[in-house]
Structure 1
Amino acid sequence: MQSHKINIVIVDDHPIVIEGLKIMLSDKPFFQISETFTNGSEVIKFVKTNEVDIVLLDISLPDISGIQLCEEIKKISPNTSVIMFSNRSERSIIMQCIQNGASGYLLKNVSIEELMECFQGALSGNIVFCNETKNIISKPSPQQLTTTPRLTKREKQILQFLAKGKTSNEIANELCLSSLTVDTHRKNLLNKFGAKNSAELVNMAIQQNMILE
């Protein structure tokens, strides 16, 4: 038996989605919806002052990306399970959410049975997905079907710093290099991965398990 009710916060900019979830969860005695929000800024305030077990979080919000908001919530409340709840089915987005600390990713056509299973799984410390999401992430991306680029030791170092959001000047200071040298290595990395920019580069490296935790 549950010793206490599981506090759930729902964040979605569509009120009809929130109302639908309220109905779905109304007969689940061990789960209670503590609060609902249609934007990100109010969620941050709430999590700072309230105990929240699960945040069910949409990606598309009017004031902040749900992916970024997930990271902010986890900084404030590491023990809160953030489960993404979206219509977006791109594999790269799913993996980025998990990289930002999400405990799972569900598509909005999920059944109530799957939703309950995922809640329980996340509360047990697992990364959870609905069946459709599992199918998406089990299929390799085009980048994964290509040969993993061979990197020099310096390129590997710079890749790790780029993954942390460091600028060329910051990386140069860390490695005692000139920013011009760092930029040269960064351009080489972009070419090796076939990436258009640093964000795409990092995402591709994550998918190929080349970014250290």
Structure 2
Amino acid sequence: MDNVISVIIVDDHPLVLNGLQFILRNSKAINLKGCFISALDALEFLAIETVDVVLMDINMPDMNGIDATLAIKKKHPATHVVAISNLNEASVADRMLQSGASGYLLKNIAANELIQAIHDIDNDQKVVSKEMQFAMEDRQKEIPVVTPREKEVLGLLAEGKTTPEIADLLFISKLTVETHRRNLLQKFNVSNAASLIHKATEMKFI
């Protein structure tokens, strides 16, 4: 059959692998070419085999799904990668899609939905689970408004500068720097500088 879609699964959880294998092997339109618990093993396989679609977990011990997707798309741009994960965090989905993934599916997806998603992805469509679409839309609504001065303070904090150093560099008082820090913590809804920098980086403020 010319329209058979070749697929591999990359996931380090045996139960998940077994479930996905069962679903895909019961579809005549899909050729399951391999299952891997290691992203590096999958990359080695792709170096010698052509695959249409890769189902990629996010959290794996040797290489995370985002970095693995970047590596696959760099060497095999025609291969479609779709995340299949338990992580329903909008920031993770954003990073996965930005890395070149064609979709982001949650592992609670129904068998028929998974098969349809693979067909859609093979036809160059983007596919994102409805639950993730809602999470990503909600996240867009929550993006804080940051003033130019606050963005300057944020950038210097990310560089590891202390309050006195930031005050000297921006020619403002230490009290003013602390006010900006406090406002940033409130706007990003975090409790410390490390969390602030992490969240601001995810939201592309840094």
TM-score range for the pair, normalised by the shorter chain length: 0.7 to 0.9
Q: What is the aligned-residue identity percentage?
A: 29
Q: Cα–Cα, structure 1 residues 45 and 127, in superposed 2: closer, same or farther, change >3 Å?
A: same
Instruction: Give 5+ residue unaligned stretches, structure 2.
Output: 160-168, 171-176
Post-superposition CA distance 1:37-71 (Å, at most 9, x none): 00111111111111010000111112111111111
Distance (whole Å) between structure 2 residues aligned to residue 202 and residue 21 of structure 1 = 34
Deviation at 1:27, TM superposition (A): 2.2
Post-superposition CA distance 1:144-167 (Å, at most 9, x none): 1x225548xxx8xxx9xxxxxxxx
CA contact (8 A) 1:55 1:83 kept: yes
Letter in 2 for 1:132: E
Letter in 2 for 1:117: Q
Residue of structure 1 equivalent to 2:103: 104
Distance (whole Å) between structure 2 residues aligned to residue 199 and residue 100 of structure 1 = 18
Post-superposition CA distance 1:1-40 (Å, at most 9, x none): x624211010110112111111112221110110110011
- Helix, strand or coil for the counterpart of 1:49? coil
Residue of structure 1 equivalent to 2:166: none
Residue of structure 2 equivalent to 1:29: 28
CA contact (8 A) 1:47 1:76 kept: no
CA contact (8 A) 2:5 2:122 kept: no
Runs of 4+ in 1 over 6 A off after TM superposition: 190-193
Greater alpha carbon shift after TM alignment, 132-141 vs 122-131: 132-141
Letter in 2 for 1:24: I
Letter in 2 for 1:109: N
CA contact (8 A) 1:59 1:65 kept: yes
How many pairs are equivalent?
178
Distance (whole Å) between structure 2 residues aligned to residue 198 and residue 148 of structure 1 = 14
TM-score (normalizing by structure 2): 0.73
CA contact (8 A) 1:91 1:141 kept: no
TM-score (normalizing by structure 1): 0.71
Deviation at 1:199, TM superposition (A): 5.5
Deviation at 1:143, TM superposition (A): 4.5
- Asked if 1:147 corresponds to 2:134, the answer is no
CA contact (8 A) 2:24 2:115 kept: no
Deviation at 1:74, TM superposition (A): 0.8
Instruction: Give 5+ residue unaligned stretches, structure 1.
Output: 160-167, 169-183
Distance (whole Å) between structure 2 residues aligned to residue 16 and residue 137 of structure 1 = 28
Deviation at 1:138, TM superposition (A): 2.1
Letter in 2 for 1:14: H
Larger Rg computed on CA atoms:
2
